[in-house]
Structure 1
Amino acid sequence: MRSNPGGGNAIEKVLAVLEALPAHERVTDIAAATGLPKSTVHRILQSLVDRQFALPTGNGSYVGGPRILSLAGQVMGRHNPAQHAETALRELCEDTGCTVHFALLDADQAVYAAKLEGDKPYQMPSRIGRGIRLHCTGIGKAILAELPPASVDAIVERTGLEARTPRTVTEPEALRRQLDEVRSRGWAYDDEENEPGILCIAAAVRGHTGAVIGGISVATITLDPWRSPVERLAARVRRAAAEVSAALGAPSDAGSGPGSGPGADPVSGS
């Protein structure tokens, strides 16, 4: 909600009413939420009704109209999550010097939607459009940790727990314990579990409904140690994941926790 819309121009007042409409139906409640006079709210709502952005339901109540749904459908039809994540991913890459990945959940796997190479003399074997397993990757475990246990069990039953490397967790109970740890601290770690010699730190990304839709990660090789302690890097990755989630319209309280907000420690580039 915009602060002090009552002191803004007409556009600010209209936007404030539109933003309040999903959570408040009555003119009195919308006025209280926006700080606008009831007469102003009523006048704006009448204009929104005329343009089908709102619909009256009787007894002074209103809901979103078909024009909102139509516009939302058009926007989502052309929605490119990677484009919305670009700024946060670029800053994460610059701050850490690591390769940065953004992957989206696709049925029982995740698919790389964006990749930025770090300032290293080597490149990661990953590529945009490539699918990755969930049980043995940082991004995959960050996603699984946010899914209901029954959904995780169903995915494991369908896909199995392939041993990608000698470090891959292949027992369901061991995976559950790992996911409990991920859920508790808010980030996941891939310690050569998907590719020999590659380490990843990852955090989940949420969409406009608040549900997990993917994750981001920083990656390096075992021969090139992390520039900063893992906990500091993890805090930076969580902050970037929160920024990407916000850019995708996730509710502000979705997936909040230590290390995910603007006040998280920056990562030293030295």
Structure 2
Amino acid sequence: MDMVSKVDISRNLPQAKRRTGDSRSKIRSVVQALKALDYLESCGDEAGVTEVGQALGVHKSTASRLLATMESGGYVARNDVTGKYSLGMRIVELAKTKLDQLDIRTHARPFLEELVQKTEETAHLAIMDQGSIVYIDKVDTPHTLIMRSKIGYRISPHCTALGKAILAALAEARIDAILQEESLRRFTPNTITDPLTFKEHLTRVRIQGFAIDDEEHEEGIRCAAAVIRNHTGRVAGAISVSGPAARVSRQRVEEIGILVRDTCRKLSKSLGHNGNHT
């Protein structure tokens, strides 16, 4: 078969088959573009056309065309001095949009419900605001004896598991400032009121990854809590599980603490936290 015949045959291919080939080519281009973005992100700096081509396993000219197309959309940026590429502002815009969508209450709700299902006790989601702990969501226990807490309710941080979990994740200077403003007021005989003892307690919280309120805020109530971290590693809030001391013994509250800690780690991961603290 001569060359002319080959050309004639390709021209006579069914239209559907040609479209299929075009679609596959477009899909390959999309995959290559995504890989290029991943490579530039992993570099942490600029990368040249040759480097990108080698990373993708394509010819330099192919990499050049791909990067030029991505640059036109703002997905990569070219340094006119070095001729190298880095991630563009469009990536920042997309990331910001996604991060703005990560409402902590929306993401935490299924985890709160899961904790209540496993423990049959009350779960709270809280944040720290102006040195106080504020409840922003709650899932009640199925038992008739329930917690009287309400969303929007403010409590002191030093006598609660939620507060101690968040305080333990803060810098020492920030802890000192909050404690100076709030003071270690006694609520029950179990409330820790000595600053040195309290700081030693926070050290234990950091080591075990969860905090416990052993009837320190309200007599007859025990609670365990752990922090939630966002994509930057900063504390986004905390989750607790609380119940009456009649149902939640000292041994059980430790077990609940481990469960809450592990649940908060899963939630933190879903928010983009990579496990490193900042």
Q: TM-score, normalised by structure 2?
A: 0.77
Question: Are the aligned partners of 2:224 and 2:254 in contact in 1 as well (CA < 8 Å)?
Answer: no
Residues 234-257 of structure 1: CA distance to partner in whole angstroms, max 9, x if unpaired? Answer: 221111101111122212x235xx
Alignment match of 1:121 (pick from 144, 152, 172):
144
User: 2 CA distance for matches of 1:71 and 1:149?
Assistant: 35
Amino acid at match of 1:166: P
Is residue 175 of structure 1 aligned with residue 198 of structure 2?
A: yes
Alignment match of 1:150 (pick from 173, 184, 194):
173
Is residue 51 of structure 1 aligned with residue 73 of structure 2?
A: yes
Question: Unpaired segments of 5 or more residues in structure 2?
Answer: 1-26
Is residue 201 of structure 1 aligned with residue 224 of structure 2?
A: yes
RMSD: 2.8
User: 1 CA distance for matches of 2:53 and 2:164?
Assistant: 44
Question: Are the aligned partners of 1:136 and 1:168 in contact in 2 as well (CA < 8 Å)?
Answer: yes
Residues 65-85 of structure 1: CA distance to partner in whole angstroms, max 9, x if unpaired? Answer: 222333344444454111012
Question: Are the aligned partners of 1:206 and 1:254 in contact in 2 as well (CA < 8 Å)?
Answer: no
Match of 2:111 in 1: 88
Q: 1:55 to 1:187 in 2, by over 3 A?
A: same
Q: Which moved more, 1:41-50 or 1:74-83?
A: 41-50
Alignment match of 2:276 (pick from 224, 235, 254):
254
Question: Are the aligned partners of 1:206 and 1:245 in contact in 2 as well (CA < 8 Å)?
Answer: yes
Question: Unpaired segments of 5 or more residues in structure 1?
Answer: 1-7, 256-270
Displacement of 1:189 in angstroms is 0.3
Displacement of 1:41 in angstroms is 6.0
Is residue 133 of structure 1 aligned with residue 130 of structure 2?
A: no
Question: Would you tell me which structure has more helix in proportion to its own residues?
Answer: 2
Match of 1:222 in 2: 245
User: 1 CA distance for matches of 2:262 and 2:52?
Assistant: 32
Displacement of 1:50 in angstroms is 1.5
User: 1 CA distance for matches of 2:137 and 2:271?
Assistant: 15
Larger Rg over CA atoms: 2
Question: Are the aligned partners of 2:190 and 2:214 in contact in 1 as well (CA < 8 Å)?
Answer: yes
- Identical positions, percent: 35
Question: Are the aligned partners of 2:134 and 2:152 in contact in 1 as well (CA < 8 Å)?
Answer: yes
Secondary structure of the 2:56 match is coil
Displacement of 1:204 in angstroms is 1.2
Q: Which has the higher contact order (CA 8 A, sep 6+)?
A: 1
How many residue pairs get matched? 245
Amino acid at match of 2:259: R
Q: 1:42 to 1:198 in 2, by over 3 A?
A: farther
